[in-house]
Amino acid sequence: MKHGLLITSAGISSRFSSSLGRESSKIIYHEGDPRFSLLGYQLRVAEELDIGPVILVLGYRSDEIGAFATRYFPHLDLHIVFNERYRDWGSGYSLLLGVRKAKELEVEQATFLEGDLVFERQSLKKIVDSDRSVVTVQHELIRSDRAVVVYTDTGGLIHYVYDTNHASLSIPVPFTKLGNSAQIWKFHDAQLLYSIAETQEIAEHRGTNLVLVERYFQRLDPEKIAWVEVDGWVNCNTVEDYRQALPLMQRMYR
């Protein structure tokens, strides 16, 4: 069974660069040891768990990031995809490009994560090893400036709520389950994922990746979905977040 890992990081990372005081490639930023960059950590976890192929969708500073990945992980089955619309389209297009590459590589199951995340290695193993599609949650307080909310309505359908302006969140219907998404997903049925991706409207690809993710999970029987809590989770929007995550990365690879 070919299990692909999709990592997307095409945006310009304006919040991270602002917090650092200069422009930076967030996922390869480090403070002395490239192993403890976000991408370095994620690719080492992928290597240890023997996940592959790894599909990396890039935009901003793609040459620099691609060179980093191939230099430090020469033996990884790595495929780099360039998102030429990274400045004016949303994360949905990056996910589409990654899904198309997965289809081309005949991936049968896929795990998708966003490039600015740190997490416990064992949590990703639990996701990858699941015999179902996986929705993830984490333990942070739900705040509108940071959170991606996931909830289940009374009919059993999964929904996601996110405000790109980081201002406020609204859930318009009664719900039976509510969590703060860890922004990692496993698509156990890759053929279903491919089918949904190619039937989306162009306008949907310009938005967030949550459109495709939500549509996929709404097509599944709830019994085919596992909910996994991700430990050690940090979303590195700023350099302060990165420094919070650094001890976890160092502890796991001493």
Half-sphere exposure for 30 (CA within 13 Å, toward CB) = 16
pLDDT tens for 70-115 read: 999 999 999 999 999 999 999 999 999 999 999 999 999 999 999 9
Share of the chain above pLDDT 70, in %: 100
Residue 123, Cβ density class (10 Å: 0-12 exposed, 13-18 middle, ≥19 buried): buried
pLDDT in the model for residue 252 = 85
pLDDT in the model for residue 29 = 97
Contacts with 142 (C-beta within 8 Å, 6 or more apart), sequence order:
149, 169, 180
Closest CA to 96 of 77, 110, 76: 110
Instruction: Annotate 40-62 with b (16+ C-beta within 10 A) or e (fewer).
Output: bbbbbbbeebebbbbbbbbbbbb
Share of the chain above pLDDT 90, in %: 89
pLDDT tier, 1 (very low <50, low <70, confident <90, very high otherwise): confident
Strands 54-58 and 78-82: parallel
Domains and CATH numbers, the chain: 3-252 (3.90.550.10)
Going 140 to 174 to 189 to 96, the CA torsion angle's sign is negative
**Range with the poorest average pLDDT among 78-87, 121-130, 164-173, 177-186:** 164-173
pLDDT tens for 206-223 read: 999 999 999 999 999 999
Extract the tokens encoding 242.
């990165």
pLDDT in the model for residue 253 = 78
Length in residues, the chain: 254
Extract the tokens encoding 199.
């039937």
Q: What is the mean pLDDT of the chain?
A: 96
Query: Which value, to the nearest 10 degrees, does the dihedral of the CA atoms of residues 42, 147, 225, 129 take?
Result: 20
**Range with the poorest average pLDDT among 27-31, 137-141, 161-165:** 161-165
The answer to whether 101 and 79 are in contact (CB under 8 A) is yes
For 223, which DSSP code?
G
pLDDT in the model for residue 13 = 87
Flag whether pLDDT at 144 surpasses 80. Answer: yes
Flag whether pLDDT at 54 surpasses 80. Answer: yes
Flag whether pLDDT at 254 surpasses 80. Answer: no
Rounded Cα gap, residues 248 and 244, in angstroms: 8
pTM of the entire structure?
0.96
pLDDT tier, 122 (very low <50, low <70, confident <90, very high otherwise): very high
Strands 3-9 and 109-114: parallel
